[in-house]
């Protein structure tokens, strides 16, 4: 067995977060937000929002699974409509890792 030492965030930042940001960006865009406004909310450039909305980040397979997951889409909607100034993506990532992908990696934010 090969020993691995890393944070769950490393894998999630490549495989999950781009898809989560895609779904949030598309939700905001559908509500009339501009690329610039969405970029400010997600902390990325308008160019990156363009890539996210066009589906050029993350996998289509995971995106399709999450779009069909009612509980997850409700979580995304609650983020988009929240009046909070700051919301962490960690609970959304945790949901995907534990309840959708069934990863065994443990994270302090697991729900």
**In this structure, what is the dihedral angle of CA atoms 88, 18, 65, 98, given to the nearest 10 degrees?**
-50
Residue 106 lies in a domain: no
Instruction: Judge whether 110 lies within some domain.
Output: no
Say if 38 falls within a structural domain.
yes
pLDDT at 6 over 80: no
Residue 26 lies in a domain: yes
Domain presence at residue 1: no
Q: What is the pLDDT of residues 15-38, one digit of tens each?
A: 999 999 999 999 999 999 999 999
The structure tokens listed for 87 are: 């919301």
For residue 19, the enclosing domain spans 8-100
**Residue 109 reports pLDDT greater than 80:** no
Structural domain contains residue 108: no
Residue 86 region, left (φ>0) first, then alpha (ψ -120 to 50), else beta? beta
What are the structure tokens assigned to 14, written together?
Answer: 């490549």
pLDDT tens for 40-88 read 999 999 999 999 999 898 889 999 999 999 999 999 999 989 888 898 9
Question: Residue 111 pLDDT more than 70?
Answer: no
Q: Whole-prediction pTM value? A: 0.87
Q: How many domains does the chain have?
A: 1
| 74 in any annotated domain | yes
- Residue at 56 is within a domain: yes
Q: Which of 54, 83, 65 is nearest to 16 (CA)?
A: 65
């Amino acid at each position: 067995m090969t020993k691995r030492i890393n944070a769950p965030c490393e894998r999630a930042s490549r495989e999950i977060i781009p898809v989560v940001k895609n779904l949030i960006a598309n939700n905001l865009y559908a509500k009339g937000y501009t690329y610039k406004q969405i970029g400010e909310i997600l902390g990325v450039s308008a160019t990156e929002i363009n890539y996210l909305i066009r589906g050029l980040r993350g996998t289509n397979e995971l995106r399709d699974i999450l779009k069909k997951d009612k509980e997850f889409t409700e979580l995304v909607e609650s983020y988009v409509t929240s009046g909070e100034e700051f919301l962490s993506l960690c609970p959304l990532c945790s949901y995907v890792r534990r309840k959708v992908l069934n990863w065994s990696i443990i994270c302090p934010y697991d729900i």
